[in-house]
Amino acid sequence: MSKFATIRTTSGTRAVKADGPVLVDLGYADLGEFLAQPDWKSIAASTPADAVIYDAADADFAAAVPRPSKVVCVGHNYTNHIKEMGRELPAFPTLFPKFADTLTGANDAIEKPAETDALDWEVELVIVIGQEVRRADDARAEAAIAGFTVMNDVSVRDWQFRTIEWTQGKIWDATTPVGPYVVTPDELPGGVRPALKVRTVVDGAVMQDDDTATLLFDPVFLVKYISTMITLRPGDLIATGTPAGVGHARDPKVYLKGGETVETTVEGIGSCVNRIVAA
């Protein structure tokens, strides 16, 4: 199919598809609105003669889906990361939420909260839902996956570990870049169970380097599991977890202090490149 994005323009955000060096306006305000169309695949397959075109090199990427109805995140889903955090392999996925206000663009600066000295990085493969689904079986779960994107689940570790429940360390305003592109499964090796390299680089130093093929709970399973509890809707995001190499698990611990450039990459999809700035 294609690569999609939400970009900022002088007239507001627009949903676009990539076509070589240009981005073609899809006629909707953002990818959430676009994916809510039952025939979004047919819409994407054609380009009207009067479609607005943007230069991809100059694009200002918003969060890939700026206002999802829900963002469900998975913890402890790479074997190496589970071990580095000193935990046993879980029998079921560990889930926590994010909110739309937490999300930001793939190249936006991230303000280090003044309330923490324990800001950390987490590269993640993200599932983007393309059709409503509840209590999915394998086939319906596969069909519900519109594509995949990239997230840096920037974490405020000291707040995260104030309690046994992590949400307060994960939901700070505009700290979670998502994007730049959503890539459909047919474009990726492994399809809806993609095998892709994931990597985090901080100021040129490789901090995380793994492969999504080592996920404990794969994307299809996660759609089935989460949709058992709650209806998944077009544009919803499921972040599949982060591999080993986070700053909190290092000895000594390494945190983002401000001034760093953090690049989180998923092979075949793209990179979030974010400058950390002081509050």
Q: Domains for the chain: give ranges and CATH numbers.
A: 3-61 (no CATH), 71-278 (3.90.850.10)
Q: pLDDT class for 1, splitting at 50, 70, 90? A: low
DSSP run (H or E) holding 261: strand 261-266
Q: How confident is the model at residue 85, as a pLDDT?
A: 72
Rounded CA separation 160/193 (Å): 29
- Mean local confidence (pLDDT), 226-232: 98
100-154 pLDDT, tens digit each: 999 999 999 999 999 999 999 999 999 999 999 999 999 999 999 999 999 999 9
Question: According to DSSP H, which parts of the chain are helical?
Answer: 31-35, 40-45, 79-84, 138-144, 157-160, 219-229
Q: Taking CA 186 as the corner, what is the angle to CA 7 and CA 49, rounded to the nearest 5 degrees?
A: 50
Residue 123's pLDDT is 98
230-253 per-position pLDDT tens digit: 999 999 999 999 999 999 999 999
CA pair distance 67, 65, nearest whole angstrom: 6
Alpha carbon distance 11, 234 (integer Å): 24
Tell me if 59 sits within 8 A of 32, measured CB to CB: no
Q: Pairing mode, if any, of strands 119-120 and 155-156? A: antiparallel
Confidence at residue 129, expressed as pLDDT on a 0 to 100 scale: 98
Q: Is 15 in a helix, a strand, or coil? A: strand
17 CB contacts (<8 Å, ≥6 apart)? Answer: 2, 3, 4, 5, 23, 24, 26, 44
Residue with tokens 């404990």: 216
Q: If you average pLDDT over residues 191-214, what whole number do you get?
A: 96
Q: Is the pLDDT of residue 190 over 90?
A: yes
Q: What is the mean pLDDT of the chain?
A: 95
